[in-house]
């Protein structure tokens, strides 16, 4: 077997092993999962998630997912917890302990200390007979038959199962909270994903100059307006309303069709009935229109009046495209 074929075969086997283990998780779900979700949902506190080794890394990711979907969560490393970080657990907090074996020394020390604080413990473990499982209020079983590691040692399949169980918790809680796209945007204001959910056309047009001419404007002045406003377009405005649009392409076609343009006005070369979008529309809707009509600019309007221009470069700069 060639080296390339061997590498691809190993990769496929890894994916297959993990995929089968994740599919098997469905059969490991019990009413305790639903009880744990409801307890977190009704809790007045936060979710404290702890683990050791690779499980600690998974715990940190689950914390991030919960925080971004409306469930306040805090990561606490199991080793640090027994050296002072237990003080981060408040009275109403729920503690999730993640451990494949459920029998690590740190977990055996930590769990009784948490129980002394009277906090409920949710175990995510691959061993339902373990110390952690026996001492927890709720047990979420993430048993896997084997790791993807050929030596069955490196945490691979087991950590994937932990991660998926955490995602299942987060999505159930998201649904119970009726967490909407608007809520999501509040927690992701800086990223491209968040911008798709909150950035409006008005946010973009306010950053641009506002190129406009009247139907009687001579073509020389039209060219100057398009050039100065740097959007490759000018709106033709009559009585406050948009009568047409003139683009760089219209200028090129005019130069091709006419030897002289001193007698021409904006009305002679404009394209009537341009595509428009409301100022209050979402920027992502503007992108959809630009792609649908295969154009690079849109005229923005407010109460039927000209409000500005959205250029596809604006959407690229904002990370929408």
Per-residue pLDDT of 127-155, as tens digits, reads 999 999 999 999 999 999 999 999 999 99
Structural tokens at position 97: 């302990």
Closest to 141 in 3D by CA, of 100, 170, 83: 100
313 is in an annotated binding site: no
What interhelical angle do 31-42 and 157-176 show, nearest 10?
Answer: 50
Does 114 map to a domain? yes
Closest to 166 in 3D by CA, of 108, 123, 114: 123
According to the model, what pLDDT value does residue 81 have?
87
According to the model, what pLDDT value does residue 189 have?
59
Looking only at Cα atoms, what is the longest distance across the chain?
Answer: 91
Number of folded domains in the chain? 2
Q: Domain check: are 17 and 69 in the same one?
A: yes
According to the model, what pLDDT value does residue 259 have?
81
According to the model, what pLDDT value does residue 299 have?
95
Q: How far apart are CA 221 and CA 229, in angstroms?
A: 12
Does 218 map to a domain? yes
Does 190 map to a domain? no
Q: Domain check: are 141 and 104 in the same one?
A: yes
Out of 179, 210, 237, pick the residue that ends a domain. 179
The strands making up 47-51's β-sheet, listed across from edge to edge, are: 73-77, 47-51, 94-99, 121-125, 138-141
Q: How far apart are CA 165 and CA 162, in angstroms?
A: 5
Does 103 map to a domain? yes
Size (the chain), residues: 321
CB 78 within 8 A of CB 106: yes
Does 210 map to a domain? yes
Q: Domain check: are 15 and 120 in the same one?
A: yes
Q: Domain check: are 146 and 280 in the same one?
A: no
Q: If DSSP codes are grouped into helix, strand and coil, which group holds residue 298?
A: strand
Give Cα 206 to chain centroid, integer Å: 25
Q: If residue 244 lies in a helix (H) or strand (E), which one and from where to where?
A: strand 241-247
Q: Domain check: are 202 and 237 in the same one?
A: yes
Out of 179, 207, 223, pick the residue that ends a domain. 179
pLDDT tens, residue by residue, 227-242? 999 999 999 999 889 9
Q: Domain check: are 202 and 306 in the same one?
A: yes
Q: Domain check: are 212 and 109 in the same one?
A: no
Q: If residue 288 lies in a helix (H) or strand (E), which one and from where to where?
A: helix 283-293
User: What pTM was computed for the model?
Assistant: 0.68
According to the model, what pLDDT value does residue 319 have?
80
Q: Domain check: are 163 and 297 in the same one?
A: no
Q: Domain check: are 217 and 99 in the same one?
A: no
Q: Domain check: are 87 and 167 in the same one?
A: yes
Q: Domain check: are 252 and 141 in the same one?
A: no
- The CATH code of the domain that includes 205 is 3.10.580.10
Q: Domain check: are 47 and 173 in the same one?
A: yes
- The CATH code of the domain that includes 112 is 3.40.50.10490
Cβ within 8 Å of residue 282, ≥6 positions away: 196, 197, 199, 200, 201
* Residue found by looking up tokens 């639903």 in the block: 34
Residue range(s) defining the domain that contains residue 103? 3-179
Closest to 43 in 3D by CA, of 156, 139, 177: 177
Give the residue ranges of the chain where pLDDT is below 50: none
Out of 147, 179, 211, pick the residue that ends a domain. 179
Does 90 map to a domain? yes
């Amino acid at each position: 077997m060639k080296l390339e074929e061997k590498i691809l075969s190993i990769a496929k086997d890894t994916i297959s092993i993990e995929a089968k283990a994740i599919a098997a998780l469905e059969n490991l779900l019990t009413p305790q999962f639903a009880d744990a979700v409801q307890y977190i949902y009704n809790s007045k506190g936060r979710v404290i998630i702890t683990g050791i080794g690779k499980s600690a890394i998974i715990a940190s990711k689950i914390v991030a997912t919960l925080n971004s979907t409306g469930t306040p969560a805090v990561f606490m490393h199991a080793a640090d917890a027994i050296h002072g970080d237990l003080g981060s657990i408040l009275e109403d907090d729920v503690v999730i302990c993640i451990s494949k074996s459920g029998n690590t020394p740190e977990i055996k020390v930590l769990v009784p200390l948490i129980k002394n604080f009277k906090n409920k413990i949710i175990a995510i473990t691959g061993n339902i007979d373990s110390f952690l499982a026996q001492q927890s209020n709720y047990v979420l079983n993430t048993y896997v038959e084997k790791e993807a590691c050929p030596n069955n040692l490196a945490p691979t399949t087991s950590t994937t199962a932990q991660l998926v169980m955490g995602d299942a918790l987060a999505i159930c809680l998201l649904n119970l909270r009726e967490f909407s796209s608007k809520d999501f945007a509040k927690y992701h204001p800086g990223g491209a994903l968040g911008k798709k959910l909150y950035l409006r056309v008005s946010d973009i047009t306010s950053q641009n100059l506002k190129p406009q001419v009247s139907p009687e404007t001579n073509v020389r002045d039209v060219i100057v307006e398009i050039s100065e406003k740097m959007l490759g377009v000018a709106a033709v405005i009559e009585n406050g309303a948009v009568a047409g649009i003139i683009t760089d392409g219209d200028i090129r076609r005019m130069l091709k069709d006419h030897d002289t343009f001193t007698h021409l006005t904006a009305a002679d070369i404009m394209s009537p009935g341009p595509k428009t979008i409301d100022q209050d529309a979402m920027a992502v809707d503007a992108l959809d229109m630009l792609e649908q009509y295969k154009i690079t600019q849109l005229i923005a309007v407010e109460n039927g009046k000209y409000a500005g221009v959205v250029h596809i470069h604006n959407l690229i700069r904002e990370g929408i495209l």
